[in-house]
Amino acid sequence: MEKRKTLILFNTLIFIFLSTFIVSEKLNIAGNTLFNNQKEIIAMNDEIKVSNNEDGIINTTTTTVPTLQDSYEEEMQTSLNFNLPESDGVDIYSSKISIYSTEEQTALSKLIPGVSLESGCIVEEAQELENQWINIIKANAYSEDKINFSISLESNLPIDINCLSNFITSILNDKRGWKTVVEKEFQVVSYDDADFHIFLANPDAVDEMCFPLQTNGIYSCRNGNQIIYNYFRWLSGAKDFGLDIATYRLYLINHEIGHMLGWGHTNCPSQNALAPLMMQQSKSTDGCIPNGWPIYERISYLYESVENFK
């Protein structure tokens, strides 16, 4: 009798085990198919797929990156395998205010006496010189009451260096520019006398001079007491600026100067507001309107502590 009970118990356990196995195979649990409220999620090996169900949601640490196209435009927008230069600001600060502009004000923002943002000091041909750099020879005398900088141009670039000197100086000393924030005038001096140095160079030279910062041939940087502007950007601008190369050149000059003055990055405060100058507009304006003047920085300096943005 005792043996019969044992046999019945044993057969019952076998039946339960076989039933569980058959059901699990039917649901394909071993193949990682799970059913939850009629929503199917299939996971096989390292791939994760979601079936055609609009309500299906899955979280994963794996990121799928679209195939990069063989074009500068795609290259400019990707951050794949790219570490942002430290000079571009390690921390991101949120802007506490939003500033809006009319179309008329936007048009006026690109007007600077004696400067053509659209032409960008570009000439028909570059000078044929043995030296790599062209420098301003007739520079101003050093002044402790001013911010003194030098300008160097890679000699194979079709840029008029005297025009470039006036171009940058006029932007920095404009009443809408950094002069009203630092309360000092900017002036060009010889290289040996400068507080910091500005270069306009080809992408290869930019990468070399910005090292160990990674500019990948498409970004500019501030490295130590040097600002290196990328000629590729000077010509091409950035995606969110569209055809507005004037505003981009204004942004490019002022943004890197902002880093030299100690300002870090900020973000877009709200849709359709002007982008703060220290936003990384070369990557994206994130719904803001492109802007090249330190408007937010001037207001913050006047009415708040500048430390909130450094």
Instruction: Specify the range with the lowest mean pLDDT, choosing from 126-135, 178-187, 207-216.
Output: 126-135
Instruction: Specify the range with the lowest mean pLDDT, choosing from 49-58, 87-96, 214-223, 296-305.
Output: 49-58
pLDDT the model gives residue 281: 94
**Percentage of residues of the chain with pLDDT beyond 90:** 54
Q: Is the pLDDT of residue 49 over 60?
A: no
d(CA 263, CA 309): 6
pLDDT the model gives residue 249: 97
Q: Checking phi first, is residue 287 left (phi over 0); if not, alpha (psi -120 to 50) or beta?
A: left
Q: Find the mean pLDDT for residues 98-126.
A: 92
Closest CA to 105 of 176, 174, 181, 172: 176
Instruction: Specify the range with the lowest mean pLDDT, choosing from 69-73, 112-116, 132-136.
Output: 69-73
d(CA 294, CA 160): 26
- Name the band, by pLDDT with cuts 50, 70 and 90, for residue 48: very low
Which CATH topology does 88-309 take? Collagenase (Catalytic Domain) (3.40.390)
Beta bridge partners of 134: 153
Question: How many residues are given for the chain?
Answer: 310
